Each structure stands twice: as structure tokens, then as C-alpha cells.
Structure 1
Amino acid sequence: MAFSASSRTIGKRVLCLALLVLFSTGPISVSGATPALPADRSPVLRIHGSNTVGAKLAPMLIAGLFEAQGLSSVRIAPAGRENEQRISAIDDAGRTIHALVAAHGTGTGFAGLKDGSADLAAASRPIKDSEFDSLAELGDLRSARAEQIIAIDGLAIIVHPDNRVSSLTVEQVASLFAGEIQNWRELGGDDHLVELHARDDQSGTYDTFKELVLGSQNKALDGGATRYESNDQLSKVVGTRPGAIGFVGLASVGSSKALAIADGDSQPMLPSTALVATEDYPLSRRLFLYANPSQQSDWTRAYLDFVHSAAGQAIVGKSGYIAQAITAIKLPGQANMPPLYQALSNEAQRLTVNFRFAEGSARLDNKAQRDVGRLVDYLQKTGKTMNAAVLVGFGDAKGDPARTALLSKLRAMAVRRELSREGVLVKDINGLGDSIPVASNSESGRIKNRRVEIWLY
């Protein structure tokens, strides 16, 4: 690969990145814990925050943990307030054990961590800088001990099942929710006025929509939109209104129709399992639990360990979200792809895991550190640990192309280094720079474009 004279700008920063590739620490391992039962009747676990996480997923995972601990009569029931649930079980001594989940929006989870009313904050978006600063006295909320990625979700744009429109660009979605497109005829649909349905301001789902859709197009939500605290409630209404459009997590699509979405130069993508698992789908997102990094109970640690286990991730899949399990998929090649990528598409299979990186960085993020272990397990089980995997790194289209090309290869090298520590020898590594974007060149899109893909022969 030829480099222009502008590559001299790479300098010390990229040398530091190269050193980081060689010497940074490996994957995080999480040890198990056997939680003691409380002497009083207090909850063993309190989760506050995201309705996306708390309405179904978090209670199901608590129930799974209780069963794994050998407790009996496990039950999920309303806790007396809307969007709050009590998960209970009985131990061998006949005592009732219970946990509480209050799903009133992502922001309430961080408030619960701050005032001590919650053990875990459920979030359908990463922690904001303002929240991070307000919780600084607890420790580093972005550390691997605090930030736990528990599932992948796709933000589905939903309409009435009879709506003739099947795909939209992110720009069109933003224009719809800003009130600029008022009749579906303008998009090739039937003569129906557009009705807007959106989550409320406490919702991490709304925060994600605001960032990935409205914010990326410098637009604001129309004041006439009907707002909801619950994903399921929103979807139920949209499915009965011919002109309606809304947005929900994947598990709440229900009887509504999800649209294919295109962002920038990407092809329209439906929120399919494979495209959401790789986070290529333009409106894919991670679901989080945040824990106090300096003080965690045995039950909190046991819950987090269970969430990341195979049994926990199986529950994630049953709940309607995308588990962080790895499978191999066949993807068709396209004429505009680089020759190397066309060859991979024709001869190899892509794994449903991507390693993503911060801007200008070759350090694996918190999810990637755990995904190394998942990838090693998959390669061992399939007998593909020797010269079968190809790592392909990518960057975003911001800055010098030569630097982007080098950094994309450094990222592939970072993944190779972690795999080699576990006895995996890869077949090849490549850096394709800013080619084959899966999202636009906006700030949120560039995050998706900075990735390492895994292909398997």
C-alpha cells in the first residue's frame, strides 16, 4: 500500500498506538461469586433505569440467576407501580428472596446509583459526560468493572403493517419526526397524514434516536409527537394507526412493520439478527448495566457474571434482543467492494462479532475485551484456531487517508495479539482504511465504521 507525503503527519501519535498494540493489557476475566442471603427482608438486587432493559430483559435474567442458584418458586410480578417488577423466589430454608426492577428511563438509573437506591443502572445508551462527572466520587463508570454491555439491540423504525413504504434513509426518518414530511404520499405511500409516536425524555431509547437520527441531521422532534414511557405501549398504538410511525427496541416491534434503513453510502438494512449482531445496522445499539466500580455486593457480581454466561446470553436471545453469541453467516459480495473483500465474501464466512474502537485508538473497548474470550471459545469449538481466521480492519473517513489505512491495520493487529495470547494463529490481517462504510461519516456513524471484522475459511 502506497503512502502519500501527508503520512508524515502520523508521527508520534501513531507510534504510541503501535506500542499500545504490542503492550496493552488483555481481556478482562470475571470470577464467579456465591452470594449470601440477606438476614432481613431487603431486596438482594435493585435495578433502576432503562425501560428497554428493565421491562423484560433484566427481570428474566434475575429469574434465571435465581434458578441457577437453586432457588425455587421463581416468580416475576408487578411491584405496585407501573413499569416496576418484583422477582421473587424461595430458598431451601423457606425464606422468600426478592429483587426489584424499576424501569422509568435510563436517566433514573444513574440517579439511583448516585443516591444509593440502585445497585445497577440499566441503560440503553452509553453514560453521558454529565452523568459520568456527577458520579465521579464512585470511581470510573467507564471502566470494565463498571460498564457492562449485556446485549445488542436494534432501534426499529416501525409503521402500520399495511404501509407501502418499506425503506427510508436516516435523513428521511429525521424529516418525518421533525414534522417536515406530513403525508406518506411524499414518500411514495398512501394518502395518510403522518402521525408521530416517540418515547419520553427519560428514555434511553429516545436519547439514542435523538443522537443517531435527529441529531445527525440537526433536527428536533416535532412538538406534536405523542410520547410514551413504554416501548410496548408505543408499538401497540402504531400497529393500529395507518399513518403512524414510531421507534422502539427490537423486542417491541410486535404487530407493527419494521422498515429497512440506509445511512450515508450504506445499503438499506432491516434490523435482522445478523446485521444487529455485527452492529452494522445503522440504528443498532448496545444495552448496558452500570455498577458502582468501588462497591459491589456479592449478588451484584453474581448477577453480572450470570448475564455474561452462556445461560444468561441464551436468555437475552429469548427476550427478543440479540445475544453476544457468535455464529458464521454468508454475505453476498458486491461489485464496488475491494477485490480482497470480494474474495472473502465468495470464499469465506463472516462471524457475527465486530471489534470496535474509539477515535484515533487501537485499544479494544469493554465489549471487545469480553468478545475476545467468546471468539476464542468459538474457534476452539469449531476447530478453527490455526490459519482459518482473517482479520479485516477499517477506519472512518475523518483525517488523512494514509493514517486511517495504517490505523485500520493496527486495529486488526490488536485483535491478532489478543488471539495469539490464547493460542489462536490467524491466517491473515488486512487494513482497508475507510472503504466499505456501514454508516455515514457523522460522529455516530464513524463509531460504527471503526471496526475489525472476523472472516473464517
Structure 2
Amino acid sequence: MYLLLHRLCRTLILSFGLTLTSAASTESPAFGPNTTGLLFTLHGSNTIGAQLAPNLIRDYLAAKGARNIRSTPLSTINELRIQADLGNQKVFIDIAAHGSSTGFKGLEQSQADIAMASRPIKASELVSLSRLGDMRSKRAEHVIAIDGIAIIVHPDNPVKHLTLQQIAAVFSGEITNWSQVGGHRGHIKVYARDNQSGTWDTFKSLVFGKGYSLIENAERFESNDQLSDRVAADLTGIGFVGLASIRHARAIAVSDQDTQPQAPQHLTIATEDYPLSRRLFLYTPAYSLKPTAEEFLHFVQSEAGQEQVKTTGFISQTPISIKPTSTREGPENYLALTQKAERLSVNFRFAKGSATLDNKAQQDIQRLMEYMQKPQNRDRQLLLIGFGDEKASAERSVVLSKLRAVTVRSALHHHRINTAPVQGFGAYLPVVSNKSKAKIKNRRVEVWLL
């Protein structure tokens, strides 16, 4: 597939060559007056822009046959230019990683071709970008990786697990001493991302809600890596970072009310069962996208692009199978059904307030089709198991969870993928509290390989 993509990219660059030269000379300059050779620009999330975007761009340029690929920091911190020789042209791509909100502002002001975001687009941003089309549509919203917000402490801190409620109390200043949560006596020092950060927005939404606010003396950072290194050097410190930035700190397990503690691991994050899992996005105009930007998006979603996602330290969306552990939980029928099966690292979820598959799920249908076409999987069968949140009756919850599995089965059958009879288990095994506003995460379909 990688070789086919390489050949495709070489063909595309020949057809886009004239477009590159003419478009570059007429674009509004984002980083200076001379934009000749500019392929596209990315603004936004530092979580994506610090390492993942540069690595993906280098691989993308290499797949196009570019030579002499090099990176140059620009005059402003967290801004980078990646340059290369492509045929007879000198080309470059610029990245400005100042936080997710700046990516949407870049699109609005026509300074960015792609917005990097570690959170979904907000309603206000949806309105301000309406001239670019439906920014929640499949053409505009592109999930490129799964990340987990890791709650990190010093490696020698004895605390291994905190609830979301304890985390909120610590970061808001209600809990101020480690002895209050099972640690050694000592004042807690709080470190947090800055207000431009999508990591901060996600943390605030998943942990604080509307009931808490950050303690005033928290030390704030634009960079995940800098925050992580500060926590790793402070025995009393606690902070939150993207999964790829744990570095020398230690991540602790997290639980919600009535749920089991989950460590930020591959399966729990890939399936978005970890309470602080999140999606990483690229957003583009729904229409009139630069050909090179669209070509880059296709590369990111390919197996080669997703392999770089994994190499950089995030969770790839390419399905893998994992044998269940001996200490599993759930209804007796569920355990019997899955006893000899392997869990796939994908959960299907649905658009908010809808019975239709969300944008990631639609992309995952294609990935699952490719996975099942591999020689080792052609004689195997998929088992779809639906779950949901609590309803007026347990019976209704079971019915709705089974209907969700039927929706996924129908989409797979459209691609000639047969499945075992679907199952639904209602509100069993919640991944977040059914009393929280985030309970929509419990509406999911697990995929098992028989």
C-alpha cells in the first residue's frame, strides 16, 4: 500500500505542479512576503504541531519523492518550516503550534489551510467558519489519531490511582495535600496547559465541567513537553499532558463513578474507554481545499500515515487484535461470548443526538474492511456487541444497544463483510458515569474477532 501511495503521490505532483507555482504566488503570506513554493500551512494544537505534524509531513514529502527534507525553526517559538527539493522546485510547509483555538482563527483569517485541534470544533467556531461549509461534516473534520490526557506525577510519588472527582478537587485547590489522596504528606503543586491549548479545553470539559475552576497559583505552559519535564523534576507536582508527552513523569490510572480504574494504555485509549481519551483532529474547509492539502490528508489516513502516528507516541487507528486478560468483568453471557475471541482496537460511536455513525466510525468501516481482507483474517468472523447508557428501563437500554450494533452490521454488510449475530448488553460496563453529561461515550459498539 505504501508503494502504491508513493506512485500515486508522484503522479499527483506532476499534475499539481502548475497549481503549486501559481497558487503559491497568489496566497496571502502567513509567515512572510515570499510564499513561492508553499504547499500549505497548519495552525493550531501544540499536541499535534510539536512532533506529530512535522513527522507526518516529512513522511508525506518522502512519499512524494522529495529530497533534502529539513526543518527550520522560525523566529517565533513553536513555529517551524519544513523544506524540501521536489523535482525542480524548492517547496515548504509551515506549522504554527500555539493551541487549538489559533488553528480555527487561522482558517477564519485565511492564514491557515489546515487547523490542528486536540478537541472538537466549538459551536462559536462553527458559526464563524460557516462560509467554509459544514465544519462538522466528513469533508471538513478528520480524526487523525487517538490520544489520552495523562494525569502525571513524579516517578517516586506513591499514588497510583485517582478518580475524576479527586482530580477535579486537586486541580481546583479543594485538595491541597498528597496525604488526602493516599500519598505522603506534602503540599501539592499544580501544573497546567495554557488557555489556548486544546489539551486544556479537553481537561476542563472532561474533569472540571461547570463545577470547578483551576487553582489560581497553577503554573501554566504552552508546551506539553515542558510541563511534563517540570512535573518529573518536582516530587510534589501533578499535571496533565498528551500521551506522547509523558516522558520522564509517571501516568496514574483514572476512574469515574461506578467504573473500573483505567491506565492510559493502547487498547483503552484506542477504543476510547479510558475516561480521559480524546481524538486529535485536522479541520479543513469543506470545499475548495488545496490539492496538496487534500493529498496530505489522504496520506495521514493511510497505513503509512497511521504507522507514523504510532511511532510518534500516539494511538494509531489501524485495527489490531488483543487477546482478553483472564480478569475480565461483565455479564455472564458477555464473558462466554468473548472468552475465545480477540478484541479489536476499535469502538464504533455515533454522531451526537443521532443514530448515524460519526465521522471517525465511517472511516473505521473502511479500515475494518481492509483489515478483514488480509489473508489471515478472511476465514474469520466479526462479533458486534452494543452498549449504552441508562434508560427508563433496562429492557429499553438493551434494545437500543442492540440497534446500535445492527447499524454497524449494516454498514459492514454494505462492504460484503459478514458478522455473527449481533448482541446488546444495555448499560453494563460503563466507561464513564451514567450520571454525567459525558454518558454518550457509553453508547458504543465493541468489535471482537472470532
What corresponds to 1:418 in structure 2?
411
Matching residue's letter, 1:175: A
State how far apart, in whole Å, the 2-side matches of 1:333 and 1:362 are: 34
Matching residue's letter, 2:158: R
Q: Residue 179 of structure 2 aligns to a residue in which SS?
A: helix
State how far apart, in whole Å, the 2-side matches of 1:324 and 1:399 are: 35
Aligned length: 425
Moved more, 184-193 or 245-254: 184-193
Distance verdict in 2 for CA 1:305–1:285, change over 3 Å:
same
What corresponds to 2:139 in structure 1?
145
State how far apart, in whole Å, the 1-side matches of 2:329 and 2:164 are: 22
What corresponds to 1:4 in structure 2?
none
1:386–1:426 contact (8 Å) kept in structure 2:
no
Moved more, 342-351 or 137-146: 342-351
Query: Is 1:50 aligned to residue 33 of structure 2?
Result: no
Q: Residue 80 of structure 1 aligns to a residue in which SS?
A: coil
The alpha carbon displacement at 1:441 in A equals: 2.0
Moved more, 361-370 or 40-49: 40-49
Of 13, 16, 21, which residue of structure 2 is paired with 1:38? 21
Of 65, 71, 76, which residue of structure 2 is paired with 1:76? 71
Q: Residue 408 of structure 1 aligns to a residue in which SS?
A: helix
Moved more, 398-407 or 168-177: 398-407
Question: Residues 291-310 of structure 1 correspond to what in structure 2 (within 5 A)?
Answer: 291-310=284-303
The alpha carbon displacement at 1:386 in A equals: 5.6
State how far apart, in whole Å, the 2-side matches of 1:286 and 1:219 are: 23
1:358–1:450 contact (8 Å) kept in structure 2:
no
The alpha carbon displacement at 1:361 in A equals: 2.9
State how far apart, in whole Å, the 2-side matches of 1:196 and 1:43 are: 41
What corresponds to 2:431 in structure 1?
438
Supply the RMSD in Å over aligned alpha carbons: 1.7
The alpha carbon displacement at 1:100 in A equals: 0.4
The alpha carbon displacement at 1:293 in A equals: 0.6
With the length of structure 1 as denominator, give the TM-score of the two structures: 0.90
State how far apart, in whole Å, the 2-side matches of 1:220 and 1:403 are: 37
The alpha carbon displacement at 1:358 in A equals: 3.4
Unaligned runs of 5+ in 1: 1-30
What corresponds to 1:428 in structure 2?
421
Q: Residue 165 of structure 1 aligns to a residue in which SS?
A: coil
State how far apart, in whole Å, the 2-side matches of 1:174 and 1:97 are: 46
1:149–1:289 contact (8 Å) kept in structure 2:
yes
Q: Residue 343 of structure 1 aligns to a residue in which SS?
A: helix
State how far apart, in whole Å, the 1-side matches of 2:143 and 2:420 are: 29
Of 89, 97, 103, which residue of structure 1 is paired with 2:97? 103
State how far apart, in whole Å, the 1-side matches of 2:240 and 2:333 are: 37
Q: Which has the higher contact order (CA 8 A, sep 6+)?
A: 1
Moved more, 308-317 or 432-441: 432-441
Question: Residues 347-426 of structure 1 correspond to what in structure 2 (within 5 A)?
Answer: 347-385=340-378, 388-426=381-419
Q: Give CA deviations for 1:333-372 in whole Å, capped at 9, x if unaligned.
A: 6675212211134221110000001355321100000101
State how far apart, in whole Å, the 2-side matches of 1:209 and 1:42 are: 38
Question: Residues 120-131 of structure 1 correspond to what in structure 2 (within 5 A)?
Answer: 120-131=114-125
What corresponds to 2:218 in structure 1?
225
Unaligned runs of 5+ in 2: 1-7, 26-35
Distance verdict in 2 for CA 1:344–1:111, change over 3 Å:
same
What corresponds to 2:32 in structure 1?
none
Q: Give CA deviations for 1:412-433 in whole Å, capped at 9, x if unaligned.
A: 1111111112111111201111
Q: Residue 286 of structure 1 aligns to a residue in which SS?
A: strand
What corresponds to 2:5 in structure 1?
none
1:193–1:243 contact (8 Å) kept in structure 2:
yes
Q: Residue 145 of structure 2 aligns to a residue in which SS?
A: strand
Question: Residues 191-210 of structure 1 correspond to what in structure 2 (within 5 A)?
Answer: 191-210=185-204
Q: Give CA deviations for 1:366-391 in whole Å, capped at 9, x if unaligned.
A: 00001011111111215445662110
